[in-house]
Structure 1
Amino acid sequence: MVSIWTITLFLLGAAKGKEVCYDSIGCFSDSEPWAGTAIRPLKVFPWSPENIGTRFLLYTNENPNNFQILLPSDPSTIEASNFQTDRKTRFIIHGFIGKGDESWLVDMCKNMFKVEKVNCICVHWKRGSQTTYTQAANNVRVVGAQVAQMLAMLKSNYSDLPSQVHLIGHSLGAHVAGEAGRKTPGLGRVTGLDPVEASFEGTPEEVRLDPSDVGFVDVIHTDAAPLIPFMGFGTKQQVGHLDFFPNGGEEMPGCQKNALSQIVDLDGIWAGTRDFVACNHLRSYKYYSESILSPDGFAAYPCASYKDFESNKCFPCPDEGCPQMGHYADRFAGKTREKQQKFFLNTGVPANLLVSWRYGVSITLSGRTATGQIKVALFGNKGNTHQYNVFKGIVTPGSTHSNEFDADSDVGTIEKVKFLWNNNAVNPTLPRVGAAKITVQKGEDKTEYSFCSEDTVREDVLLSLTPC
């Protein structure tokens, strides 16, 4: 028996496709793959540029707090601004129900100003994004074309080469960046910050962000759980050359799902509650902004799955090294032979530092047999870590136990290790346990450090190991 859904899709597909055209940016069709498919069943034209009201807000090192408006149709607005052709240009594009003068975009620009001279342009398409989700998803095409129009104007009038341009898009904005990249030959880089899933995952390349759009595409996935039933807004599909899945890409530290997030639909996320509902989805731009100021704090490891990563199967970095998730990911461009590759890492929580450094530890025990938990802390020329668990169970002299942990600081050159054991129980024999040797490896550069001791200690007494 043929379902109503099948008949509906047939009629949509059979209907003759139409198109709408707008001066200077071209025509937009409502035929496949843009509509009439299982993923995009409704035929919805994107709004006109006038209805969307896209504006380009320029911040520079000279005007970090107040934007200057640029118009792709009026080169004089460039001449009257602080735009500098000898600087890299980075566009930041917000997503669904967002706006270009939100604090996170401006804060991201300000972080850039701390490390580089840059033209930071926030793309403001508030009216086009604060509508129904289906309409906003279709408006992506016009906004992408407008960004491409601005890039073409900068190239023709100011010799601002596309290879020196970087587009950073969050949510729907990631697909805006992909659309602009597809229309701009030679564009240098696109960064997708949790590209949205609905209406885009599983579509042909011309509909969504894709590696073929530009020379280098890096993506941060933070809300990749299925939309139904888990209300994951981001795509799980690999859509970049390098796809990063921090903390597995689905549940970020400090973001707990709640009853409201299970029942609110995409059109029901409003500005006052989206931090509550879409915490994972928004975390991607927080990671990126933090990465600007932490060039070595987001090292990510190539791995088949997060399960393998958590099982310590992807440590240390391979010979070509590990990329940094976020701002400095382009330093890794061309270092992997694979066309698309997954990378995993763990991060901290916003209340503390988001960054982390991964270490591998191997401990050879000495002393008496006992039951307990083994912890270590690393001390280096840049500082020290907290105590991290390495092993829990029967402690046997001569046995070796290994583990990995993500520290909240880079201690630099490791100078000593402190060993601690306990079992939180009274033991009348007062056993003494020690670490004959501890080997520590930094995951990024694969440097190994070895520390030795002939001493043993009772539980809850620190033992310091020095280089062998």
Structure 2
Amino acid sequence: MVTFCKNAGIFLHAIFFLLNQSGAGGAQDNSYNYYYMQIGQDNFIESNTTRCYAKNDQVFGCFDLNYPWTSDHRPVSLFPEDLDKIEPQYILQTRGSSPVVVELSNFNLELTSLNPKKPIYLVTHGYMEGGGIAWINNIARTLLLQEDCNVIIIDWSRGSGPPYTQAVANIRLVGAITAHLLHRISNYTGSLKLDHAHAIGHSLGAHLCGYIGYTLQQKFNITIGRITGLDPAEPHFSKVKPPVRLDRSAAKYVDIIHTDSSQFIRGGLGIVESIGHVDYYPNGGTDQPGCTKGVFQYIKDANGSFFNGVKKYLSCNHIRSHEYFLESITPNPKCKFVTVSCPSFQDFTSGKCFGCGKSRENCLPFGFNGRKYYEKHLGNKWRHTSRIQYLITGEFKPFCKHHYRIVVQVSSSNMSKIHGGEIGQLYFTMHGTTDGRGHKTNPVGFVSGFHEPGGLYMAVVATDSVPHLRAVELEWRYNSSLFNPLTWRILATPRIYLKKITVEALENEESITVCPKWQKPLANGVPQLMIPSYCQYF
């Protein structure tokens, strides 16, 4: 019988160990970034050497392994493989035309459907993936539905396989080759240059997009308009300096979506540091809702496949980045996908940063639609620093939810004091009206723990949008413990006495204060509807 460890980091290390074997033994570095990831035997650095890569008399790049490519935080550094082995393919998609492969060696704009004056999107995959993967095609299709544009899929699958350290090296060359392609296209774009070009990459593909940007700047004096990093890979990129990793200097606007930003040794695959003009941390950037199932359930969902089940178990947080981004491309009138600037996710969920401010400078649209708002309201102020934004998502598609700050005041009446505190959790259902029809949300949990008489509790929750708040339905769920005297209810029925509840809607900028009717307590498991007019009894 196979025994599974609950710590995803153990699985992650085991898989990387298997995938990175090259047939040669080697010492293991103490840095967590390279545990089980060092390949070869002794000398990983070819000092003072340079390798150049060319085809048909065109030199795409000359690379060395000196600092910063090799450093204390990146002791393993390799050259890219031969161009003939990893040569990427570029698949062009436009409206009304079949996908075509763009030939680098004989690029002729007139032989393609590419319109250089229309927006140009480049989308690329990460480690052990290819350009035909479903999420890339979904993003390409959605972009084309949203606007008349060019979508170029970068397929570097011939260089994305194990060992991981070699794939890391290969993206330097793929990024340089892609920059040369964009430079050729820029010859037809006039004054636009590449301001309308937007590179989108997941995991290793995010850093590949950074190499596109750096090469364009260094070789052609062109700065690409935008790069979106979808949970950029952490192993071999943590704590290193640009141009080794993607950075806000790689484009005029760089936005990052962090969804698996725990340290690698703890099971995380995404980089922790804020590296863009805007860094989004959905749900704090680590544990995403809906990714909390056990490994056995993932194997069951994968029809019993051990490999696919474990892969899904390990990558669920990581792939949420491109799932969230895909949803952000198409505006949803029912959900605004708003994010809030805050020093920490804990401060955000505790309600300390709630609100967008008078000029809404604290809020940004999430993902695809964030750039226009950023440049209009925040560009000059935040250009050289990172703007950190938080939001809470749902467990399943659609992930977009609206945020509500809830303030609960427990009654300090004599009845409340005599009964004493309770330990448990409140569940809220918001009620509203639209066009005369009633709407309500699914129940959403509030702060769990001990609630004492006179106590004030505040938190931010996320659920479906309900405009025109009219009432709030509450349910108290009592938690007992044989070893906690605070929770013993041998003679008294578990209940909680509330004075008032205030609910503020971030996206709709509404607020409602409700109270229990005639100061009636909430009994365990019995929902109670509260409305503003009941507050007259207090």
Bin for the TM-score computed over the shorter chain: 0.7 to 0.9
Please state if 1:344 is matched with 2:390: yes
Aligned to 2:342: 303
Please state if 1:440 is matched with 2:503: yes
CA contact (8 A) 1:323 1:331 kept: no
1:41 shift after superposition = 3.2
Please state if 1:156 is matched with 2:187: yes
1:272 shift after superposition = 8.0
3-state SS, counterpart of residue 323 of structure 1:
strand
> Residue 432 and residue 349 in structure 1: after superposition, are their counterparts in 2 closer, same or farther (change >3 A)?
closer
Aligned to 1:331: 372
1:81 shift after superposition = 3.8
- Show structure 2 runs of 5+ residues with no match: 1-26, 31-39, 217-221, 297-305, 480-488
User: What is the rounded CA distance, in whole Å, between the counterparts of 1:402 and 1:127 in structure 2?
Assistant: 55
User: What is the rounded CA distance, in whole Å, between the counterparts of 1:190 and 1:209 in structure 2?
Assistant: 9
1:405 shift after superposition = 3.6
1:357 shift after superposition = 1.5
User: What is the rounded CA distance, in whole Å, between the counterparts of 1:164 and 1:87 in structure 2?
Assistant: 8
Aligned to 1:123: 154
1:461 shift after superposition = 4.7
| 1:328-378 CA distance string (max 9 Å, x none) | 22134244434113222222223x532222111234567852566544322
CA contact (8 A) 1:390 1:402 kept: no
Please state if 1:238 is matched with 2:279: no
Aligned to 1:60: 94
| 1:233-286 CA distance string (max 9 Å, x none) | 2111221111122222222223348789xxxxxxxx987853233222222111
Aligned to 2:529: 463
> Residue 449 and residue 158 in structure 1: after superposition, are their counterparts in 2 closer, same or farther (change >3 A)?
same
Please state if 1:410 is matched with 2:465: yes
Please state if 1:102 is matched with 2:133: yes
3-state SS, counterpart of residue 365 of structure 2:
coil
1:192 shift after superposition = 0.4
> Residue 134 and residue 101 in structure 1: after superposition, are their counterparts in 2 closer, same or farther (change >3 A)?
same
Deviates more, 1:418-427 or 1:160-169: 418-427
3-state SS, counterpart of residue 45 of structure 1:
coil
1:106 shift after superposition = 0.4
CA contact (8 A) 1:247 1:344 kept: yes
User: What is the rounded CA distance, in whole Å, between the counterparts of 2:389 and 2:41 in structure 1?
Assistant: 37
Within 5 A, what are the aligned runs for 1:19-418? Answer: 19-23=51-55, 24-33=58-67, 35-63=69-97, 67-76=99-108, 78-159=109-190, 161-184=193-216, 185-228=222-265, 230-256=266-292, 274-294=311-331, 296-318=335-357, 319-334=360-375, 335-336=377-378, 337-338=381-382, 339-350=385-396, 352-363=397-408, 368-369=415-416, 374-381=426-433, 383-390=439-446, 393=450, 396=453, 399=454, 401-418=456-473
TM-score by length of 2: 0.73
TM-score by length of 1: 0.83
> Residue 429 and residue 74 in structure 1: after superposition, are their counterparts in 2 closer, same or farther (change >3 A)?
closer
* Amino acid in structure 1 at the alignment position of 2:503: V
> Residue 390 and residue 171 in structure 1: after superposition, are their counterparts in 2 closer, same or farther (change >3 A)?
closer
User: What is the rounded CA distance, in whole Å, between the counterparts of 2:207 and 2:176 in structure 1?
Assistant: 11
User: What is the rounded CA distance, in whole Å, between the counterparts of 2:529 and 2:308 in structure 1?
Assistant: 52
3-state SS, counterpart of residue 183 of structure 1:
helix
- Show structure 1 runs of 5+ residues with no match: 261-268
User: What is the rounded CA distance, in whole Å, between the counterparts of 1:54 and 1:270 in structure 2?
Assistant: 27
User: What is the rounded CA distance, in whole Å, between the counterparts of 1:431 and 1:200 in structure 2?
Assistant: 52
Deviates more, 1:211-220 or 1:305-314: 305-314
CA contact (8 A) 1:294 1:355 kept: no
3-state SS, counterpart of residue 281 of structure 2:
strand
User: What is the rounded CA distance, in whole Å, between the counterparts of 1:5 and 1:376 in structure 2?
Assistant: 50
> Residue 415 and residue 131 in structure 1: after superposition, are their counterparts in 2 closer, same or farther (change >3 A)?
same
Deviates more, 1:163-172 or 1:327-336: 327-336
Superposition RMSD on alpha carbons, in Å?
A: 3.6
> Residue 402 and residue 16 in structure 1: after superposition, are their counterparts in 2 closer, same or farther (change >3 A)?
same
User: What is the rounded CA distance, in whole Å, between the counterparts of 2:290 and 2:410 in structure 1?
Assistant: 36
> Residue 461 and residue 137 in structure 1: after superposition, are their counterparts in 2 closer, same or farther (change >3 A)?
closer
User: What is the rounded CA distance, in whole Å, between the counterparts of 1:86 and 1:4 in structure 2?
Assistant: 50
Deviates more, 1:208-217 or 1:425-434: 425-434
Q: Which structure carries more helix by proportion? A: 2
Number of corresponding residues: 449
State, as a whole percentage, how many aligned pairs show the same letter: 27
